[in-house]
């Protein structure tokens, strides 16, 4: 493995992927869902044989294409954009026309204030996770490993955010869960490589950092690839066969896991090499 010799190619590839996403984030932002922008939640009861797909068809006819439908037994929760009383009545009339037996349970509004709070909590959760990982890795290994790990995590988050911004896929609360899962996955893979780097450092008197990194990555490559493949296979199955309500959640994790494997091997190790060689030269 010649990871270090090719590191500039990896940097260039990452920039090619990340820069369009950053431009999109600044120009058009993210397509925020109801969880962040606010909206209405309508709770109804329908015959048990009615599926979420059938309910979603009725909502689309009412111009509510972005609505989320959650089913629990014979009860449905419809998360839509903010609806007036008239629009709610029209929706109920359309549902009764389609399914006959419709029982209205409740309706409530989720204000933009709650959405703003969710946004702040999401950013806070990701920031706290990054800081705690930096502290732990610096304590368990050394600070250079911690910095390289955080760079890798930031890389992965920017790729996922950029992809969702470019294609304007909807971002909801499940997306935050996916981002945190991606962070946990990628840091785990990075730690495996760094642990091998540390072990190889102990058996070498004169440190050739390029050979050290290349050798460590080669020794853990099979494990990294096999791990990401065993994660990708069920995610692809869920993406193809799963319901539409989880598709974007699965897609975020799928992108994050693939990029996480790449960044652990190519970006994190290269970043650590850059830090160590710059310190040695100073």
Q: Specify whether the CB–CB gap between 166 and 24 falls below 8 A.
A: yes
Domain extent listing, the chain: 7-33+114-281, 39-110
Residues ≥6 apart with Cβ < 8 Å to 188 = none
**Tens digits of per-residue pLDDT, 195-216?**
898 888 876 656 688 888 888 8
CATH architecture of the domain with range 39-110: 2-Layer Sandwich (3.30)
Place of tokens 């490993």: 145
Tokens of 163: 């992809």
Half-sphere exposure for 176 (CA within 13 Å, toward CB): 18
> Which one, of 205, 157, 170, lies nearest residue 66 by Cα?
170
Tokens of 173: 């609360």
CA distance 10 to 5: 10
Which of residues 162 and 34 earns the better pLDDT score? 162
∠ Cα 171 248 173 (to 5°):
40
Question: With a threshold of 0.75, does the pTM exceed it?
Answer: yes
Beta bridge partners of 171: 32
pLDDT of residue 112: 58
Residue 254 has pLDDT above 90, yes or no: yes
pLDDT of residue 130: 79
pLDDT of residue 159: 95
Residue 166 has pLDDT above 90, yes or no: yes
Q: Which fold has domain 7-33+114-281?
A: Multidrug efflux transporter AcrB transmembrane fold (1.20.1640)
Confidence of residue 282 (pLDDT cuts 50, 70, 90): low
Give the strand pairing for 170-171 and 68-72: unpaired
CA distance 172 to 249: 9
């Amino acid at each position: 493995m010649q990871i270090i010799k090719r590191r500039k190619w990896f940097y260039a590839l990452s920039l090619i992927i990340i820069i369009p996403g950053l431009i999109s984030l600044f120009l058009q932002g993210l397509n925020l869902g109801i969880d962040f922008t606010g909206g209405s939640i309508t709770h109804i009861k329908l015959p048990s044989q009615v599926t979420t797909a059938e309910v979603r068809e009725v909502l689309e006819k009412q111009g509510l294409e972005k609505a989320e439908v959650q089913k629990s037994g014979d009860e449905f929760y419809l998360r839509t954009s903010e609806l007036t009383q008239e629009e709610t009545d029209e929706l109920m009339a359309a549902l009764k026309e389609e399914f006959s037996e419709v029982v209205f349970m409740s309706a409530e509004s989720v204000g933009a204030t709650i959405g703003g709070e969710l946004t702040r909590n999401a950013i806070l959760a990701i920031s706290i996770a990054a800081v705690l990982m930096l502290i732990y890795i610096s304590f368990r290994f050394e600070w250079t490993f911690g910095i390289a790990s955080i760079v890798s995590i930031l890389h992965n988050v920017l790729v996922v955010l950029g992809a969702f911004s470019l294609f304007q896929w909807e971002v909801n609360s499940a997306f935050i869960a996916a981002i945190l899962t991606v962070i946990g996955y990628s840091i785990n893979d990075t730690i495996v490589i760094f642990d091998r780097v540390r072990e190889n450092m102990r058996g070498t008197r004169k440190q050739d950092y390029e050979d050290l990194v290349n050798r460590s990555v080669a020794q853990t490559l099979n494990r990294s690839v096999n791990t990401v493949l065993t994660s990708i296979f069920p995610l692809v199955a869920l993406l193809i066969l799963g319901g539409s309500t989880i598709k974007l959640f699965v897609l975020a994790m799928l992108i994050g896991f693939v990029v996480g494997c790449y960044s652990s091997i190519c970006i994190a190790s290269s970043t650590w090499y850059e830090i160590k060689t710059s310190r040695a030269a100073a």
